[in-house]
């Protein structure tokens, strides 16, 4: 047992040194471009201050300097800092003197010998008595064949060459890759006259890759039967030493790993940048070397030079790129971010991966429990083995831990839903829907759901097989998934208890319902619009298809019968399901594919005889739908109330008030929303059980100390205390409260705490005073640390105390804290919180990001459980929750707060 300096006594087991001993890693948001520290990104023409390019998929760029940052029409957000470097493997240069030249359709030269067609063979000088036998590890094209006439290389026979040159378009260079062979080592490859280079997944060391004119580089991942080619990874790793320099000269209409070559490409759909990694050791990489049109889908890493785009109309880059500096000239191009997994270790765990087992969402705890009852925690595990820092495989888990009498949980899991699941379970219990929205077993889905292109190397049967059993066909379709795992990573989706089942969403595209006692699979559901993405088996899970949150509506906390409303696909998809009293999936009520980007938890409630779900659809639209298959819908466009270009960003919050009219209860509900401009609004949504016909917003205020703060509002919460109503608003760096006294008719600004400062308003809410003293346990509002502090989840409010989840990162640590405030005035809650001694400081609960505390009445006493990426006992052998907050009698007396549970 360890006593913290705060005065708290908590149980503490050994922590995972790899997480605790170092910082959190970069908190950067992945984007299409990044540079190393001190690097510069120049997205403008050197002669004019305007932008012709289109950047999509992510508006973030990570660089110390963004030249032309004033050009608002570029539509990017800069981090102001660069990313770390990665270690490349030792370059393996070729020691071979063998040259190969394809000079024309009737002339192929291997070494010093030239071969020409003679009958059905390639012979020296066309002499049929001296024909090529394939001794150099190369298979020459079949003569007069109707099949594709490849010049076929095979690393199982010969993997080293000096110079390979193709000067023709009709004989593509095809590099077959055997996992039993060694990586290819080639001094130079030259592509001329619309020639084509085809690569199977594997590792290639090429000292210099150059082109003259139009060229094509393709990646072949599967054969015509859908079997994995190459080393089975689905990824070509192209290591370019770049000596003296890789040059793609001119090359109008050239394509590198592009499926829809020559088409205007404005999105990453149907393109697979994760299939090609380009690692450049030295000098600049220019795409193309001089002005031209080029289309590329890849991850690109330039270790010791710049990445330069000299683009023309139609140029496209899909994927992500990292270099010392990045420049774009001429600009009529599309740059589209898509996560390739190649640079996962450069970005924060919320968007990628870290070593070991950890959680990216809070636990699910029962509202009332006894010793031995279960708590449910989502975990993912990332394993690293690659020399370049990339992960080798990942796995997902939902684990159950039993409560102990002191409010901690057991250190060992009672079960893991992944261990309890079988392929037979998945085959019999995973569902989607037909084209009309009717439930249909996934194994029986119609072919049209998969949207396979004509001539696709995959079949519907194969996709079904590896979705139900990820290790199907000797693990050929795993990508980077754990070969022993059946479920995907829960990512940031928080599990929910619904009576006898526990619900959770994962990156494999399913919502799962497991038995709350045993962890056995009850059923799974995949929204039909996600099914087509399964064909991208090596990248589907990296897109976080079920990124979102789950809401339920039941008669009471113990009931299983009711409704599930979830957000998925980053907020671009919402669904409603019905469950019967036995926990069986009964129906998909509806599915909404509005182009939204807010993966929040929908708001669900009953008003009279109708059940409603409310969520943010498009960026400036509030959607209300009834929970039935023939639903009633209201869509409210609120753009006229928001600042120009602002969008709704906060999880909507409902504040309901019930009154009695005759023998029935009447609900009046006020909806609170927040936007990307830092503003909070509210408006009447339900009046006397009826949804309003026109939803009007009133400004509550800005999240800052003035109206000019443009932090995105992420979370809103409400509580009442001593007859006063309070609303809290949060961004990633600010917490602000508003108050509504019973005898007033307006909301007032109250107090605020933010990175580097804090303060409060007077009784009228108009005059602000900045604090100059920040020490806890004084009559002042504490501030958040000036650097390294990030608010990472929604507050919990209990006993008039605000628990604010904060991640604090330094060079040596990455810690998860709860910062504590009195709701009424922002002071530290002295003489309110007790464990064995009075709490006199903020509370360290674990490592990484801190999450919303869970509140449970355990054995009749209220317990608040701490949640973080890894709690204090978070090693792979000891996990669970071990930081219970309890409220006991002390010098100031007990603070009752159970009345706040439904605030």
Domain boundaries, the chain: 1-27+715-903, 28-91+241-347
Sign of CA pseudo-dihedral 131, 133, 139, 144: positive
Inter-residue contact 114 to 124 (CB < 8 Å): yes
| 736 token code pair | 């602000």
pLDDT band of residue 267 (cuts 50, 70, 90) is: confident
Inter-residue contact 287 to 278 (CB < 8 Å): no
pLDDT band of residue 187 (cuts 50, 70, 90) is: very high
CA distance 399 to 420: 11
CA distance 511 to 529: 14
State whether residue 695 is helix, strand or coil: coil
Residue 131: how many CB atoms within 10 A of its CB? 16
DSSP letter for 468, please.
H
Q: What is the CA radius of gyration of the chain?
A: 30
User: Closest Cα to residue 425, out of 502, 524, 534, 527?
Assistant: 524
pLDDT band of residue 505 (cuts 50, 70, 90) is: very high
What is the per-residue pLDDT for 891? 35
Inter-residue contact 251 to 294 (CB < 8 Å): yes
61 membership: H or E segment, kind and range: strand 60-62
pLDDT at 876 over 60: no
DSSP letter for 83, please.
B
CA distance 33 to 58: 10
What is the per-residue pLDDT for 153? 94
pLDDT band of residue 177 (cuts 50, 70, 90) is: very high
CA distance 354 to 347: 9
Work out the mean pLDDT of the chain and round it to a whole number: 85
CA distance 604 to 8: 37
pLDDT band of residue 767 (cuts 50, 70, 90) is: very high
Q: What is the mean pLDDT of residues 757-765?
A: 94
Parallel, antiparallel, or unpaired: how do β-strands 724-730 and 715-721 relate? Answer: antiparallel
User: Closest Cα to residue 140, out of 105, 190, 169?
Assistant: 105
Rounded to a whole number, what is the largest CA-CA distance in the chain?
Answer: 107
Q: Which residues contact 716 (CB under 8 A, 6 or more apart)?
A: 650, 651, 652, 653, 672, 673, 674, 680, 727, 728, 729, 730
What is the per-residue pLDDT for 888? 39
Q: What is the dihedral of CA 116, 119, 122, 127, to 10 degrees?
A: -70
Sign of CA pseudo-dihedral 89, 94, 100, 101: positive
The DSSP-derived string for 778-803 is SSSPPPBPSSSEEE-S--EEETTEEE
Parallel, antiparallel, or unpaired: how do β-strands 757-761 and 724-730 relate? Answer: unpaired
CA distance 82 to 80: 7
pLDDT band of residue 742 (cuts 50, 70, 90) is: confident
CA distance 227 to 223: 5
CA distance 736 to 842: 18
pLDDT in tens, 575-604: 999 999 999 999 999 999 987 888 999 999
Parallel, antiparallel, or unpaired: how do β-strands 315-323 and 294-302 relate? Answer: parallel
Inter-residue contact 867 to 830 (CB < 8 Å): no
Give how far Cα 656 sits from Cα of 622, 665, 667, Å. Answer: 17, 12, 7
What is the per-residue pLDDT for 883? 62
20 membership: H or E segment, kind and range: helix 17-20
pLDDT in tens, 469-490: 999 999 899 887 888 899 999 9
Q: What is the 3-state secondary structure (H, E, C) of 597-634?
A: CCCCCCEEEEECCEEEEEEECCCCEEEEEECCCCCCEE
Q: Which residues contact 176 (CB under 8 A, 6 or more apart)?
A: 152, 153, 154, 155, 156, 200, 230
pLDDT at 109 over 80: yes
Q: Tell me which of 325-329, 418-422, 653-657 is least confident.
A: 325-329
| 354 token code pair | 């870290």
pLDDT band of residue 5 (cuts 50, 70, 90) is: very low
User: Closest Cα to residue 756, out of 708, 713, 704?
Assistant: 704
> Cα 233 to the chain's mean position, in Å?
21
Vertex 470 angle, CA 465 and 474, to 5°: 85
pLDDT band of residue 2 (cuts 50, 70, 90) is: very low
161 membership: H or E segment, kind and range: strand 160-166
Q: Tell me which of 414-428, 489-503, 714-728, 838-852 is least confident.
A: 838-852
For residue 620, cis peptide bond before it (omega within 30 degrees of 0) = no
Q: Tell me which of 568-577, 578-587, 878-887 is least confident.
A: 878-887
Residue 443: how many CB atoms within 10 A of its CB? 15
Q: Burial level of 67, CB count in 10 A (0-12/13-18/19+)?
A: middle
What is the per-residue pLDDT for 774? 86
pLDDT band of residue 746 (cuts 50, 70, 90) is: confident
State whether residue 392 is helix, strand or coil: strand
DSSP letter for 401, please.
E
Q: Burial level of 857, CB count in 10 A (0-12/13-18/19+)?
A: middle
Inter-residue contact 651 to 714 (CB < 8 Å): yes
pLDDT at 428 over 90: yes
pLDDT at 348 over 90: no
Inter-residue contact 817 to 850 (CB < 8 Å): yes
Token pair 């409560």 in the structure block, residue: 403
| Residue-wise burial string across 553-585, b where 16 or more C-beta atoms lie within 10 A, e elsewhere | bbeeeeebbbbbbbbbbbbbbbbbbbbeeebeb
Q: What are the DSSP E strand ranges found in 385-429?
A: 391-402, 415-416
Parallel, antiparallel, or unpaired: how do β-strands 138-139 and 195-199 relate? Answer: unpaired
Token pair 């990339």 in the structure block, residue: 390
User: Closest Cα to residue 593, out of 609, 608, 615, 612?
Assistant: 615
Give how far Cα 121 sits from Cα of 5, 165, 176, 683, Å. Answer: 83, 21, 21, 81
Question: Which residue has better confidence, 48 or 813?
Answer: 813
Question: What is the separation, in whole angstroms, between the first and last Cα of the chain?
Answer: 35
DSSP letter for 372, please.
T
Q: What is the mean pLDDT of residues 223-243?
A: 88
Q: What are the DSSP E strand ranges found in 762-879?
A: 768-770, 789-791, 796-798, 801-809, 814-822, 843-858, 861-871
Question: Which residue has better confidence, 57 or 290?
Answer: 57
| 302 token code pair | 């330039």
> Cα 185 to the chain's mean position, in Å?
35
User: Closest Cα to residue 488, out of 544, 560, 534?
Assistant: 544
Q: What is the 3-state secondary structure (H, E, C) of 500-523?
A: CEEEEECCCCCEEEEECCCCCEEE
| Residue-wise burial string across 667-693, b where 16 or more C-beta atoms lie within 10 A, e elsewhere | bbbbbbbbbbbbbbbbbebbeebebbe
State whether residue 104 is helix, strand or coil: strand
pLDDT band of residue 269 (cuts 50, 70, 90) is: confident
Q: What is the mean pLDDT of residues 512-520?
A: 98
CA distance 794 to 867: 12
pLDDT band of residue 27 (cuts 50, 70, 90) is: low
CA distance 61 to 67: 12
Q: What percent of the chain has pLDDT above 90?
A: 52
pLDDT in tens, 788-808: 899 999 999 987 899 999 999
Element counts in the chain: helices (H) and strands (E) = 6, 67
55 membership: H or E segment, kind and range: strand 54-56
């Amino acid at each position: 047992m360890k006593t913290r300096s705060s005065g708290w006594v908590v149980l503490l087991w050994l922590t995972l040194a790899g997480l605790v001993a170092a910082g959190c890693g970069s908190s950067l948001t992945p984007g299409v471009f990044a540079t190393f520290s001190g690097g510069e990104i120049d997205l403008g023409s050197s002669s004019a201050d305007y932008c012709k390019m289109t950047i999509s998929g992510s508006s973030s760029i990570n660089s110390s300097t963004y030249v032309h940052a004033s050009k608002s029409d570029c539509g990017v957000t800069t981090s102001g800092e660069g990313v770390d470097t990665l270690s490349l493997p030792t370059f393996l240069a070729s020691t071979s003197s063998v040259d190969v030249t394809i000079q024309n359709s009737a002339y192929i030269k291997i070494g010093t010998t030239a071969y020409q067609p003679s009958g059905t063979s390639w012979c020296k000088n066309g002499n049929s008595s001296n024909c090529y036998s394939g001794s150099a590890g190369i298979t020459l094209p079949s003569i007069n064949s109707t099949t594709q006439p490849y010049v076929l290389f095979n690393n199982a026979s010969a993997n080293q060459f000096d110079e390979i040159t193709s000067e023709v378009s009709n004989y593509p260079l095809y590099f077959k890759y055997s996992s039993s062979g060694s990586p290819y080592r080639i001094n130079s490859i030259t592509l001329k006259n619309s020639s084509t280079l085809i690569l199977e997944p594997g590792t290639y060391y090429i000292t210099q890759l150059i082109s003259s004119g139009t060229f094509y580089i393709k990646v072949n991942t599967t054969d015509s039967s859908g079997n994995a080619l190459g080393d089975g990874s689905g990824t070509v790793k192209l290591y370019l030493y770049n000596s003296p320099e890789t040059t793609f000269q001119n090359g109008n209409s050239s394509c590198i790993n592009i499926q829809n070559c020559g088409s205007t490409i404005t999105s990453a759909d149907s393109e697979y940048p994760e299939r090609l990694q380009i690692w450049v050791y030295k000098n600049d990489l220019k795409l193309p070397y001089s002005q031209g049109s080029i289309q590329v889908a890849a991850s690109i890493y330039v270790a010791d030079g710049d990445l330069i785009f000299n683009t023309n109309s139609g140029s496209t880059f899909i994927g992500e790129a990292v270099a010392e500096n990045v420049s774009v000239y001429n600009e009529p191009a599309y740059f589209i971010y898509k996560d390739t997994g190649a640079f996962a270790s450069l970005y924060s765990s919320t968007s990628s991966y870290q070593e070991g087992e950890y959680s990216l969402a809070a636990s699910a705890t029962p509202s009332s429990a006894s010793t031995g009852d279960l708590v449910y925690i989502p975990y993912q595990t990332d394993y690293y083995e690659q020399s370049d820092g990339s992960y080798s495989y990942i796995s997902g888990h939902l684990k159950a831990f039993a409560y102990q009498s002191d409010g901690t949980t057991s250190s060992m899991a009672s079960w893991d839903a992944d261990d309890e699941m079988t392929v037979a379970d998945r085959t019999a219990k995973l569902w989607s829907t037909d084209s009309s929205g009717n439930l249909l077993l996934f194994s029986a889905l119609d072919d049209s759901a998969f949207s396979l292109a004509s001539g696709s190397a995959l079949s519907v049967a194969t996709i079904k097989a590896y979705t139900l059993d990820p290790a199907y066909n000797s693990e050929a379709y795993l990508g980077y998934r754990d070969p022993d795992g059946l479920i995907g990573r829960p990512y940031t989706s928080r599990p929910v208890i619904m009576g006898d089942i526990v619900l959770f969403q994962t990156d494999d595209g399913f919502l799962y319902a497991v038995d709350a006692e045993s962890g056995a699979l009850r059923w799974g559901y995949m929204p039909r619009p996600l099914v087509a993405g399964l064909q991208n088996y090596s990248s589907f899970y990296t897109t976080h298809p079920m990124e979102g949150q789950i809401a339920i509506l039941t008669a009471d906390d113990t009931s299983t019968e009711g409704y599930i409303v979830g957000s998925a696909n980053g907020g671009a998809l919402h669904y409603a399901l019905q469950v019967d009293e036995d926990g069986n999936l009964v129906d998909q009520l509806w599915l909404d594919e509005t182009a939204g980007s807010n993966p929040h938890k929908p708001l669900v409630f009953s008003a009279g005889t109708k059940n409603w779900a409310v969520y943010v659809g498009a960026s400036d639209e509030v959607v209300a739908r009834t929970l039935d298959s023939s639903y009633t819908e209201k869509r409210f466009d609120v753009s006229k109330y928001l600042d120009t270009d602002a969008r709704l960003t906060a999880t909507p919050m409902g504040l309901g008030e019930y009154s009695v009219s005759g023998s029935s209860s009447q609900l009046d509900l006020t909806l609170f929303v927040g936007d990307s401009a830092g503003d909070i609004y509210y408006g009447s949504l339900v009046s006397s059980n009826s949804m309003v016909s026109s939803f009007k917003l009133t400004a509550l205020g800005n999240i800052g100390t003035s109206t000019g703060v443009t932090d995105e509002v992420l979370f809103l919460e409400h509580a009442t205390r001593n007859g006063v109503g309070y609303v809290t608003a949060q961004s990633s760096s600010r917490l602000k409260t508003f108050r509504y006294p019973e005898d007033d008719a307006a909301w007032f600004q109250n107090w605020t705490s933010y990175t580097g400062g804090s303060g409060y308003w007077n009784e009228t809410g108009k005059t602000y005073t900045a604090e100059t003293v920040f020490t806890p346990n004084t009559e002042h509002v504490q501030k958040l640390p000036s650097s390294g502090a990030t608010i990472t989840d929604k507050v919990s409010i209990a006993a008039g105390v605000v628990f604010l989840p904060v991640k604090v990162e330094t060079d040596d640590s990455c810690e998860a804290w709860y910062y504590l405030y009195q709701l009424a005035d922002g002071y530290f809650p002295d003489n309110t919180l007790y464990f064995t001694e009075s709490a006199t400081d903020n509370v360290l609960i674990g490592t990484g990001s801190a999450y919303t505390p869970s509140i449970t009445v355990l054995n009749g006493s209220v317990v608040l459980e701490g949640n973080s990426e890894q709690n204090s006992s978070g090693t792979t052998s000891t996990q669970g929750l071990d930081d219970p907050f309890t409220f006991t009698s002390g010098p100031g007396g007990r603070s009752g707060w159970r009345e706040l549970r439904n605030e």
